[in-house]
Amino acid sequence: MKILVTGGAGFIGSHVAEAYVAAGHDVVVVDDLSSGKRHQVPQGARLVQMDIRDPRIRDVFADEKPALLNQHAAQMDVRRSVADPGFDADVNILGLLNLLEGARAAGTRRVLFASSGGAAYGEQDEFPATETHKLEPVSPYGVSKRASELYLGCYRAMYGLEYVAMRYANVYGPRQDPHGEAGVVAISTLRLLNGERPTINGDGKQTRTTSSSRTWCGRTSRWRRAPTSAR
C-alpha cells in the first residue's frame, strides 16, 4: 500500500514509517525537518522535505496518491502553544486541513492521526481516561488536537474519508529528544542518568509535570502558568 507519513523524520513518526517499510509498504515521508532529522527517515522510504502548510502538499498527494495518510507532523510543544497560540493553530489545524484537502482530492481512503490524551482531555475525572471521557483541553495545543479530531469527523461525514485518532499519552523511547521542553520521560530519565534530580512540581500526585519555573495546580484546579512537558 502507498502510505504518506507526515513527521516521519521525528521521534514517533520515524518508528511508524520504519514499521510500514518493514511490512512491505511503499512509504513517502513529508517532513520539514524543523525538529526531525533526515537520518531518522528509514531506508526504503522517500523524504519530501516540505511544510504541511505548503500549498504544494496537494501536488504531493496528486503525484503519490497514497491510500493512507498517517499524520504525525505537528507543533507539539505545549508551552510554545501557550506562548504563541496562533502558530500552534497554524501548524496543527491549518496544516491538517491542507493535508486533508490534498488527501480527499487524491482519493486517499483513511487517515491515522496522532492526537493527544492528556492534553485533549484536560483535567481528568477518571483514571485511566476512557474514550468517552469529556474533552476539555486547557492548553491551545490540546484545543488544536481536539479541533483536529472534529475536522476529521467532519471530513468523514462530508467525503467518507475514514479516520482513527490515536490519543497518545506520554510516549517515550529511542530517538526521543531528551533536551527539549517536551517529553517528560526522556527529560527525567536523562537527569537521573546524569545523577541529577528530575523536577517534580506539586506534591507528586499530579498526573502532569511542568518545567521548574511553572506550576501545575493539581487535579481540580487549572494551570496557573504555562503548562509543559506532558502531552
Ligand X SMILES: NC(=O)c1ccc[n+]([C@@H]2O[C@H](COP(=O)([O-])OP(=O)(O)OC[C@H]3O[C@@H](n4cnc5c(N)ncnc54)[C@H](O)[C@@H]3O)[C@@H](O)[C@H]2O)c1
Give the nearer residue to ligand X in terms of CB position, either 131 or 203: 131
Give the nearer residue to ligand X in terms of CB position, either 106 or 120: 120
> Least CB distance from residue 76 to ligand X, whole Å?
4
Cβ(17)–Cβ(43) below 8 Å:
no
| Other CB atoms within 10 Å distance of the CB of residue 45 | 20
> Least CB distance from residue 224 to ligand X, whole Å?
23
Cβ(65)–Cβ(107) below 8 Å:
yes
> Least CB distance from residue 183 to ligand X, whole Å?
6
Instruction: Cell 481516561: give the residue.
Output: 129
| Other CB atoms within 10 Å distance of the CB of residue 111 | 24
Residues making contact with ligand X (CB under 6 A): 7, 9-13, 31-36, 51-53, 72-76, 91, 95, 114, 116, 168, 170-171, 183, 231
Give the nearer residue to ligand X in terms of CB position, either 39 or 205: 39
Give the strand order in the sheet containing 162-168.
46-49, 26-31, 2-6, 68-71, 110-116, 162-168
Q: Is 197 exposed, middle or buried (0-12, 13-18, 19+ CB in 10 A)?
A: exposed
Give the nearer residue to ligand X in terms of CB position, either 160 or 175: 175
Is 151 a residue of the active site?
Answer: no
> Least CB distance from residue 11 to ligand X, whole Å?
3
Single out the catalytic residue among 20, 121, 141, 163.
141
Q: Which residue numbers are catalytic? A: 141
